[in-house]
Amino acid sequence: MSFLTINEINKYYPQKDGHLLEVLNNINLEIKEKEFITFIGPSGCGKSTLLNILAGLVKADSGRVSLNDKLITTPGNDRVMVFQEAALFPWMTVIDNVMFGLKAKNKDKKEAYDKALKQLEAVHLADFKDSYPHQLSGGMKQRVAIARSLVIKPKILLMDEPFAALDDQTRLVLHKELMNLWLDLKKTIVFVTHNIREAVKLSDRVIVFGTNPGRIIEKISINLPRPRARESKELITIENYILDLLEKEVSFKGGNQDEKIMA
């Protein structure tokens, strides 16, 4: 049975001079349940737009996306998004932020509080439950954002360059935490990044996008055991392969829609 199916998606953005920019051209992709899948590609390749279409925040011009054979047309809390800017509500304490989605579903307040606290413990931030977002570091904010999304128990976690604004050390720590959460919960994660190393280290599958028009140029499966060592030979080989692909994409505009199993 198909889990998340992306079928012949096309998306155009009208430009100021009147012509249409083709952001996504005929995107077809099957995402498996519990899969960690990453979209990578140069800016303007439509990877974030596709993520927004999965979230229901942006409408495709043609094609369909379905989750468990149900068409996705609007946002829904079976698919929650984590943004690059954390997007915490600054007027709420950390715990209130985490409770936000539960309260919106009219969950009992006490129950919501307990769940939120448990989720904060999972990201090691229970001690900061009464702090305000402006008192937290970038990495802590992003952990709260992840907790706020996971507490709703979505089927899919959508992550739009969530670690791009963080320094390297913080990013490594968060990779580890995200991996642990994912191994623990076995949730589907769709992750967008422009960091090749990050993509290769985290993912079951990396989808490489090209620009103009935005399209998939290759789907790469990475069946390496976890936790993955940062400098392992296999990872570096795959990294270099993707780097070559993207370089070719930028300089020649080539590419076929191959499926490859790299490891």
Partner 1 sequence: MKKLWRRSLFIISLLLIWQGLYLLEIWPNFLFPSPMMVGNTLVEGFTDGSFIIAMAASFKRLLIGYSLSIVFGTLLGVLIASNKIIEDTIGPFILALQSIPSVVWLPLALLWFSLGEAAIIFVVVLGGTWNMVINSSTGIKNVQPVLIRAAKTMGVKGIQLFWKVILPASVPHLITGMRLSWAFSWRALMAGELIGTGTGLGQILMWGRDMGNMSLVISIIILIGTFGYLTDNLLFKKFEDRVLTRWGLDNE
Backbone angles phi, psi at 194, to 5 degrees: -115, 10
Q: Would you give the binding string for partner 1 spanning residues 221-240, x where CB under 8 A is met?
A: --------------------
d(CA 235, CA 82): 26
**Pick 18 or 90: Cβ nearer partner 1:** 90
Tell me the closest approach of the beta carbon of residue 164 to partner 1, in angstroms.
14
Contact range with partner 1 by CB under 8 A, out of 60-68, 142-150, 193-201, 207-215? 142-150
Q: Is 188 in the site for partner 1 (CB under 8 A)?
A: no
Task: Determine how many CB atoms are found less than 10 A away from the CB of residue 219.
Answer: 17
**Pick 148 or 187: Cβ nearer partner 1:** 148
Task: Determine how many CB atoms are found less than 10 A away from the CB of residue 177.
Answer: 17
102: Cβ contacts below 8 Å, ≥ 6 apart: 111, 112, 115, 116, 151, 152
Q: Is 57 in the site for partner 1 (CB under 8 A)?
A: yes
Quick one: tokens of 38?
A: 């990453």
- Report how many residues bind partner 1 under the rule CB under 8 A: 27
Contact range with partner 1 by CB under 8 A, out of 7-15, 33-41, 98-106, 123-131? 98-106
Q: Is 123 in the site for partner 1 (CB under 8 A)?
A: no
Q: Is 162 in the site for partner 1 (CB under 8 A)?
A: no
Q: Is 165 in the site for partner 1 (CB under 8 A)?
A: no
| The binder of partner 1 chosen from 81, 140, 202, 220 (CB under 8 A) | 81
Contact range with partner 1 by CB under 8 A, out of 11-19, 72-80, 172-180, 204-212? 72-80
Q: Is 139 in the site for partner 1 (CB under 8 A)?
A: no
Tell me the closest approach of the beta carbon of residue 87 to partner 1, in angstroms.
4
Contact range with partner 1 by CB under 8 A, out of 145-153, 187-195, 202-210, 222-230? 145-153
Q: Is 104 in the site for partner 1 (CB under 8 A)?
A: yes
Return residues touching partner 1 (CB under 8 A). Answer: 55-57, 75-77, 79-81, 83, 85, 87, 89-91, 100-101, 104-105, 132-134, 145, 148-149, 152, 158
